[in-house]
């Protein structure tokens, strides 16, 4: 029997991710390599100052497309907690919160820690490299082209 990889990824956000997202859990479909590359290109375009609406909205659309479930709840008019369906509209109804979620999700998808770069020694490895003993090679027997 072979290894069966889940079609879904589960994300659990805590205080180290972002205090505004602590306690949120969500499940998304896996991203194709093409979609990950598209997200990287969109991020680079935004960093270069491109403010085209499509470039700004596309990452939110990708997240909304792959979002399967979450444990998000909001208070109704009577103060009762009600489940919020994982839809594009629900995702975008609070843009500052959605932006935090998008950034945390993109870091998680790419396997990047929030602590990346903090206290990182410049140019040094954090784990010592193993020492490989170096010895001169033993002489090889001389080969002869004339059969013995």
CA pair distance 36, 110, nearest whole angstrom: 8
Per-residue confidence (pLDDT) for residue 51, from 0 to 100? 85
Q: Tell me the per-residue pLDDT of 110-138, one tens digit each, with 9 for 90 and over.
A: 765 444 444 444 444 444 444 444 455 55
Please name the residue that has the structure tokens 């410049």.
122
Per-residue confidence (pLDDT) for residue 95, from 0 to 100? 87
Q: H/E/C letters for each residue in the chain?
A: CCCCCCCEEEEECCCCCCHHHCCCEEEEECCCHHHHHHHHHHHHHHHCCCCCHHHHHHHHHHHHHHEEEECCEEECCCCCEEECCCCHHHHHCCHHHHHHHHHHHHHHHCCCCCCCCCCCCCCCCCCCCCCCCCCCCCCCCCCCCCCC
CA pair distance 148, 138, nearest whole angstrom: 23
Per-residue confidence (pLDDT) for residue 66, from 0 to 100? 94
Q: Tell me the per-residue pLDDT of 42-89, one tens digit each, with 9 for 90 and over.
A: 989 988 988 888 888 999 999 999 999 999 998 888 888 889 998 888
CA pair distance 42, 101, nearest whole angstrom: 16
Residue ranges covered by each domain of the chain: 8-109
Q: Tell me the per-residue pLDDT of 80-100, one tens digit each, with 9 for 90 and over.
A: 888 999 888 888 888 899 999
Per-residue confidence (pLDDT) for residue 117, from 0 to 100? 43
Q: Helix 33-47 to helix 53-66 angle, to the nearest 10 degrees? A: 150
Q: Tell me the per-residue pLDDT of 14-28, one tens digit each, with 9 for 90 and over.
A: 888 888 899 999 999
CA pair distance 9, 29, nearest whole angstrom: 6
Contact assessment for residue 82 and residue 73, using Cβ atoms and an 8 Å cutoff: yes
Q: Retrieve residue 116's tokens.
A: 């990346």
């Amino acid at each position: 029997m072979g290894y069966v990889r889940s079609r879904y990824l589960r994300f659990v956000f805590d205080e180290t991710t972002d205090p505004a997202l602590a306690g949120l859990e969500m499940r998304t479909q896996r991203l194709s390599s093409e979609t990950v590359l598209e997200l990287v290109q969109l991020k680079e375009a935004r960093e270069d100052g491109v403010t085209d609406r499509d470039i700004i909205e596309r990452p939110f659309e990708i997240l909304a497309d792959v979002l399967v479930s979450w444990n998000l709840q909001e208070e109704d008019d009577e103060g009762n907690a009600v489940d919020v369906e994982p839809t594009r509209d629900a995702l975008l109804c609070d843009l500052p919160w959605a932006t935090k979620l998008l950034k945390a999700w993109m870091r998680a998808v790419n396997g990047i820690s929030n602590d990346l770069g903090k206290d990182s020694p410049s140019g040094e490895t954090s784990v010592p490299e193993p020492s490989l003993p170096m010895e001169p090679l033993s002489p090889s027997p001389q080969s002869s082209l004339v059969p013995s």
